[in-house]
Amino acid sequence: MTVTMKEYGPWDRFMRFPAKLAKGLPPIAERAINNETKKIANALKNTIESGGAGGPPLTAGVTARKGHGIKLVDSHALANSIEIDPVAVGREGFVGIKNGVGHPTGISMTALATIHEFGTATIPPRPFLRPTLQKAGPAMVLGVIKIWNKMAARIW
């Protein structure tokens, strides 16, 4: 019995694909993750600025002092403190509030965010991080996969 094989298709291209893939995927992953990270940062800022944080409404006294009833918005410092450090090959990225960034009152923004997120003995929790990330997380994963697939197809 004799077996005969015939080659059809772009074999040279196929044989080069693994090397091209290894070279091309890290920048693709960076772009995909950084693109979605910007969306997460914007979603966090929007949750803060729109008053979309959880928890009870502000008391009448706080609303009168602030001149509005939007939770977490006083000086806009909390929303403005959301920062992004892009991901790069060999370096982790970051989205959130960095240590050392301060509120005009002197409290650190990370301490203020923690107070809002979890509350204290006298301040009810008004979470903005967890609900935003729970809502945006699945969309972020799908966004990364979509960009990854689109860019990987270009490598082929």
> How far, in Å, CA of 81 to CA of 90, rounded?
25
Which of the pair, 27 or 48, is modelled with greater confidence? 48
> How far, in Å, CA of 32 to CA of 104, rounded?
35
Q: What is the pTM of this model?
A: 0.75
- Per-residue model confidence as pLDDT tens digits over 58-104: 899 989 998 988 988 888 888 999 999 998 877 888 888 877 768 88
> How far, in Å, CA of 148 to CA of 139, rounded?
14
DSSP summary character for residue 58: P
pLDDT band (50, 70, 90) for residue 113: very high
Which of the pair, 38 or 31, is modelled with greater confidence? 38
In the predicted structure, residue 5 carries a pLDDT above the cut 70: no
Which of the pair, 140 or 119, is modelled with greater confidence? 119
